[in-house]
Amino acid sequence: MRQCRFADAILFSDKQVSTQARHIPISPLKSKGDYSAFILKELIQHVRTPWVLIVQWDGYVVDPLAWREEFLLYDYVGAPWPFHEAGFQVGNGGFSLRSMRLIQALADPRFELLPDVNEDDLICRLYRTELETAFSIRFAPVEIASRFACEYTDPQAPIFGFHGARNLWRHIDDDTMMDIALALDIRTFNSSEMRQLLMHYCHLGKFSCVRTMCERYLQHWSPQQLEEQLYATGVREHIARYSAEICARTMERA
């Protein structure tokens, strides 16, 4: 909010938080399913602007000068997903620009919530074709989305924002990030995204960060379980193996 001037800024939370944003109390979101239900079916009750920038805890605006008016030509703009098939690669919902047209379309009962399917997957993959044909919803092409934000790809030019705990090392100094990591609830700390952040620190040789994170993981997992959890993130096997070795060596020296 220090970098951009918004017509409105809303913080949805079940807790009272000191903020410059307009705080709207909501019931606790205890799962990804709860979050998806809120975004798809309840957000419409609170948004009054033509577009909304959705920002989760692990992302934010990094370069306001990278904003482009052409982003507003689309109903949905989010960081590309390079691992999906062409035509369904845009994109990530954790830092995404959405039009009120899209939000209103999603209120249609034909767009049902499905177990274990995140809201951005529902919008951008499962329901995309129906949204395009029945409601004329426009999704940004990959080249535009790449200038808007990053999640799984390395930015090749200035971007407006980012999403994903795996990317926090790019934007937050080590001491601050470790304070955040230790303050996270255990479910979030144990997430695949945070384990990928740990592997980035292994690759970067930031052993103090590796030690801090491993110490907390090892309060809940054995060394073998931690290694298995690194493999379970879906990264290439040699990356997980290297990271597991770094974690083991770092803890031996602790």
State whether 19 and 141 are in the same domain: yes
Residue 3 and residue 61 in contact, taking contact as beta carbons nearer than 8 Å:
yes
**57, part of any domain:** yes
- To the nearest 10°, report the CA torsion of 36, 43, 57, 140: 80
Provide the residue range defining the domain that includes 231. 166-252
**1, part of any domain:** no
Across-strand partners of 231? Answer: none
Residues written for the chain: 254
How far is 114 from 118, CA to CA, in rounded Å? 8
- Over residues 118-135, the pLDDT tens digits come to 999 999 999 999 999 999
State whether 204 and 237 are in the same domain: yes
Domain boundary among 130, 163, 196: 163
State whether 38 and 157 are in the same domain: yes
Return mean pLDDT, the chain: 95
Task: Give residue 17's pLDDT.
Answer: 86
- Over residues 143-154, the pLDDT tens digits come to 999 999 999 999
Domain boundary among 163, 191, 214: 163
Report how many domains make up the chain. Answer: 2
How far is 46 from 50, CA to CA, in rounded Å? 12
Tell me the whole-structure pTM to 2 decimals.
0.93
Domain boundary among 163, 182, 198: 163
Q: What is the CATH number of the domain that holds 28?
A: 3.90.550.10
Please tell me whether residue 2 adopts helix, strand or coil conformation.
Answer: coil
State whether 151 and 80 are in the same domain: yes
Task: Give residue 144's pLDDT.
Answer: 97
